[in-house]
Structure 1
Amino acid sequence: MSSPKSVLITGCSTGGIGHGLALIFQRKGFIVFATARDISKMSDLGALPNIHLLALDVTSKTSIQEAVKSVAALTDGRGLDILVNNSGQQYTMPMTDIVEEEARRMFDVNFWGVFAVTQAFVDMVIAVKGVIVNMASISGYWYTPYMTVYNASKAALVMFGETLRLELSPFGVRVVSVIAGAVDTNIMRNSPVPELPESSRYFAARKQIIDLAAGADNDGLKRMSVKAFAEKVVNDVLQGANGRIWRGEYSSIVRLSNVMMPTAVLPRENEILVEAPVNLEALSSFRPLLRLLIQNHVIRSYSYDAIRDEIHLVCATQRD
């Protein structure tokens, strides 16, 4: 009888994507190594069979090496079938007001942490011709104001994953970059509240920036549940996905916009608040999505009917 397959997931605190993935993989019969900096934040997982809780700080080489030793011992050196790099932080602040040390800390988690964990576990993944899964985001393709370094970290993660996919292909390893759309997680609720100095050029927009960081300005935007998102991603991975996959609310429309729609010119210097320049009430059922598209300067001159038709087309093809 063959041994059950194994998966290590970073960032498994309750309420997040990693936690949801751990539950789904466990139900699929995997041995799950659920990790977080603070084990107490995922203690409920420890009550389930075949889940091992490991303390792991992705920014600490010592912590990563300890995790490698633990996984090697618990798998009897067989290897690691799936590595999921899910740990991430958010940082919302206009570029002119960014504190460099805070931005670097975020990049250490979102990008360099993924690099370090992948480099540490890659031999174990190669040994079983396994899969590496990186949790990226539509933010890597989406020009959301006041999220400069967060967007950049996610864009870097996609390029890292896609290049790594080519490098590891000769060894039979798949690399999946999950372009995650809107998912109902705790990342925004757990993010620090931006503190704009009164001298900031964007001080007049501080409420909008704070609301953006907290996820309070989404104007009714739908978010996929963590469970539904995790189920889709796990199924994708187990069915042989390779390269980029787009999951979560609005991931499809962002994918479409990057292929088919022109990006608009940047807002004028005096447009401090990024607001929709048209009346979105005319299409109330699409108001949340249209607002997001216009805010990000994806839509410039499309008619409402054309936009509606595009949305219907994307939704019809993504009902699976």
Structure 2
Amino acid sequence: MAPQTAFALVTGCGKGGIGEALVIEYQRKGLHSIATILPSESSDHLTDAGISWFHLDVTSDESVEELKNTVRELTGGFLDILVNNAGIAYTMAAIDTDVTEVGRMFDVNVFGPMRMVHHFHDLLIKAHGTVVNIGSVGGIVPYVYGSSYNATKAALQHWSNTLRVEMAPLDVSVLTIISGEIGTNILRRDIHRELPRGSYMAPLADEFKQHVQRSPNTTDRFEYASKVVAQSLKQSPPAWFWYGKTASTVRFLDMFAWRTIWDYIFWASFNLGKLRDAHRTSAGVMKGD
């Protein structure tokens, strides 16, 4: 008797991202990969790779339920792997945050995975499956200009921890990935973002522009995908798996250094002394007036 096909569903598989690399790797490992993309995104890269794909908006319960019905029919009511990968970024100083933008990001990065698990949990339980939540070192480290994104990943990672404990009696594993710097295009929507006029952070306007337009040193997304997929296919996946540029450094310092080590590191790397000097000069002038 031929072995039953295993199915892996990955959200957020637009061209050039982690999701695309993951579904290709699951397919390479012999699983039936199921990719999701937004209705506004091209599917050519998935069709060319021979990967099943469907439209999904993780912020919509109706969209998630529609996908579940489709997947249930395709798989016979089972789902072996669910990877909550869909995510967006928002780069801005904490005091200048647009809460509407942040609300949208939480809806995708945090509530999206919650919706997926809420609707797909019975398929996962029937398969003794695994949930993979794609977190980030941003959920550990106070990266400057990333406060809101960091908050979504911290929330996802803590929710994922509790989900792991609750799903264990139901024979479902939960794996949280703490991703370092991975080569994707997630930052492209912020490339033209600027600090608002009149911001207290304005002395760092040039540095902020350089930050959003940076080309960071990253880990190749296909290399990353091979490691993540291998961990998720283990009979007993680890609770957390750290991988990608900076991940090892962050893990070491988070475990052994004092909590404010990042204050010193980022003070220098984000030129915060320049902001302090400008603020004190301005405050002195105002006091003198």
Same fold (TM over 0.5): yes
1:226 is aligned to 2:221: yes
- Sort the Cα spacing of 1:266 and 1:18 in 2 relative to 1 into closer, same or farther, 3 A: closer
- TM-score, structure 1 normalization: 0.79
Match of 1:141 in 2: 140
Residue identity matched to 2:207? Q
Residue identity matched to 1:44? H
Q: Secondary structure at the match of 2:42?
A: helix
Q: What's the offset of the Cα at 1:265?
A: 7.4
Match of 2:176 in 1: 177
Match of 2:202 in 1: 203
For residues 118 and 267 of structure 1, the distance between their equivalents in structure 2, rounded to whole angstroms, comes to 36
Match of 1:73 in 2: 73
Match of 2:26 in 1: 25
Match of 1:313 in 2: none
Which is worse superposed, 202-211 or 250-259? 202-211
For residues 263 and 53 of structure 2, the distance between their equivalents in structure 1, rounded to whole angstroms, comes to 47
User: 1:227-306 alignment to 2 at 5 Å?
Assistant: 227-239=222-234, 240-264=236-260, 274-275=270-271
Match of 1:61 in 2: 61
State whether residues 182 and 218 of structure 2, in contact with CA within 8 Å, keep that contact through their aligned partners in structure 1: yes
Q: What's the offset of the Cα at 1:40?
A: 4.2
For residues 197 and 39 of structure 1, the distance between their equivalents in structure 2, rounded to whole angstroms, comes to 29
For residues 206 and 36 of structure 1, the distance between their equivalents in structure 2, rounded to whole angstroms, comes to 34
State whether residues 202 and 272 of structure 1, in contact with CA within 8 Å, keep that contact through their aligned partners in structure 2: no
For residues 239 and 89 of structure 2, the distance between their equivalents in structure 1, rounded to whole angstroms, comes to 24
- Sort the Cα spacing of 1:267 and 1:18 in 2 relative to 1 into closer, same or farther, 3 A: closer
State whether residues 9 and 82 of structure 2, in contact with CA within 8 Å, keep that contact through their aligned partners in structure 1: yes
Match of 1:41 in 2: 42
- Sort the Cα spacing of 1:213 and 1:38 in 2 relative to 1 into closer, same or farther, 3 A: farther
State whether residues 34 and 53 of structure 2, in contact with CA within 8 Å, keep that contact through their aligned partners in structure 1: yes
Q: What's the offset of the Cα at 1:146?
A: 1.3
- Sort the Cα spacing of 1:227 and 1:139 in 2 relative to 1 into closer, same or farther, 3 A: same
Q: Report how many residues are paired.
A: 269
For residues 227 and 257 of structure 1, the distance between their equivalents in structure 2, rounded to whole angstroms, comes to 27
For residues 163 and 185 of structure 1, the distance between their equivalents in structure 2, rounded to whole angstroms, comes to 28
Unmatched runs of 5 consecutive residues or more in structure 1: 278-320
1:2 is aligned to 2:3: yes
CA RMSD of aligned residues (A): 2.1
State whether residues 205 and 272 of structure 1, in contact with CA within 8 Å, keep that contact through their aligned partners in structure 2: no
For residues 262 and 195 of structure 2, the distance between their equivalents in structure 1, rounded to whole angstroms, comes to 22
- TM-score, structure 2 normalization: 0.87
Q: Secondary structure at the match of 2:53?
A: strand
- Sort the Cα spacing of 1:275 and 1:99 in 2 relative to 1 into closer, same or farther, 3 A: same
State whether residues 64 and 120 of structure 1, in contact with CA within 8 Å, keep that contact through their aligned partners in structure 2: yes
Q: Secondary structure at the match of 1:22?
A: helix
Percent of counterpart pairs with the same letter? 34
State whether residues 85 and 134 of structure 2, in contact with CA within 8 Å, keep that contact through their aligned partners in structure 1: yes
Q: Secondary structure at the match of 1:163?
A: helix
Unmatched runs of 5 consecutive residues or more in structure 2: 274-289
Q: Per-residue CA shift, 1:223-273, capped at 9, x if unaligned?
A: 1101100001111111232311101111111011101111337869xx798
Residue identity matched to 1:229? Y
Q: Per-residue CA shift, 1:39-93, capped at 9, x if unaligned?
A: 74342211334x211000000111111100110111122x100000001111111
